[in-house]
Amino acid sequence: MNIKYVFLIVVALVCLSSFVESAASGKKNGKLQIGVKHRPAECTRKTTKGDVLKIHYTGSLLDNGEKFDSSVDRGTPFEFTLGEGQVIKGWDNGLLNMCIGEKRKLTIPPSLGYGAQGAGAKIPGNSYLVFDTELIDIVSNIYDDEQ
């Protein structure tokens, strides 16, 4: 085989491996990533701290794509109060300013998820989490009575 072709193949492989490595590290940059998958045409109210939300979600591990939980599979949206520490910080931050009917993909670093300890047998420590979410309803706001 011509040495010129061998050299070109080696250079191409090095470039490809660098690209793959940088793409993978981009997903694991330690920051919350919020991707809007669907935004409704009309949005009369956005989520704020204190809102009681109904959310459908599917959670999986970034490393292997393994699903660890899903309200969709159970057929019942999950209800919680935004910004009150009832859920992981990645949710409290990533679901702000969301419209009813909006769908988001959250990629959550361990620091905003379950940290070094993980959660149960399905979420190892230091795991990056991916949540596909859909805001079903804003039920109320816990601060409405105080105003």
Give the residue numbers annotated as catalytic, written as ranges: 57, 68-69, 88, 114, 131
Reference 83, options 50, 109, 114; nearest CA is 50
Q: How far apart are CA 28 and CA 5, in angstroms?
A: 35
For Cα atoms 125, 129, 134, give the angle at the middle one, nearest 5 degrees. 145
Burial label, 55 (beta-carbon count in 10 A; 0-12, 13-18, 19+): buried
The radius of gyration of the chain's CA atoms, rounded to the nearest angstrom, is 20
Q: How far apart are CA 58 and CA 106, in angstroms?
A: 10
For Cα atoms 37, 131, 56, give the angle at the middle one, nearest 5 degrees. 80
What six digits make up the tokens of 144? Answer: 């409405």
